[in-house]
Amino acid sequence: MPSIAILGSGNGSNAQAIINAIENGMVDAQIVCIISDVKEAPILKRAHKQNIPSHYIDCSPSPHALRDEAEQSVLALLDSYKAEYIILAGFLRIIKQSLLERFPRRIINIHPSLLPSFPGLSAGEQAFKAGVKETGCTVHYVDSGIDTGDIILQKRVEIHPTDTLDTLMNKIHEVEHIAYPEALKIVFNS
């Protein structure tokens, strides 16, 4: 059974969906730890509630990347837990080359758009403002680009004229919670 480490910066609803999918037997994996760059992030509280080891990593002064000492701390944790996959679930930092090289095709991310459309930050808002009729989410391998890695699975949501950004984001989150466990099942069974 693969050992996975989840990295996140925020609410952790996707981490929770993965936890639930493992608990109900849909995904065969073990979450060995949850790591966050945000001290008070709800994702760490979820880990605590589930008795999953959790760790805060101080990434300052770097505003956007996981680098140098912080990256070494993460690597040491991943080694100590013998993590085989890194699952990014709302982790807001860029993963640098050294970590990518240590985990080739073993770092996975979920992004709230139908890539290659709307990569980067605020993807839901980008789609909403662009006036497109559909968007969705993408689970993909992480490479050195921004949301450019090979796609594992996508799920679509329609954007209706009555949607607000809030209702759209709720719909995207709903499909994300289905997509991430499905994608992990594909990866771990292949």
User: Would you tell me which residues interact with ligand GRF (CB under 6 A)?
Assistant: 8, 10-14, 89-90, 110-112, 137, 176
24: phi then psi, degrees, rounded to nearest 5: -90, 10
Q: How far is the CB of 79 from ligand GRF (least distance, A)?
A: 25
28: phi then psi, degrees, rounded to nearest 5: -100, 95
Q: How far is the CB of 3 from ligand GRF (least distance, A)?
A: 20
Output the residue with the shortest Cβ distance to ligand GRF: 90
Report which DSSP code applies to 147: S
Q: How far is the CB of 53 from ligand GRF (least distance, A)?
A: 19
Nearer to ligand GRF, 27 or 80 (CB): 27
- Residue 71 neighbours by CB under 8 Å, 6+ apart: 96, 98, 99
Give the closest residue to 29 by CA, choosing from 108, 93, 102: 108
Nearer to ligand GRF, 12 or 181 (CB): 12
Half-sphere exposure of 66 (CA within 13 A, CB side): 26
Q: Which residues are catalytic, by number?
A: 111
Nearer to ligand GRF, 78 or 87 (CB): 87
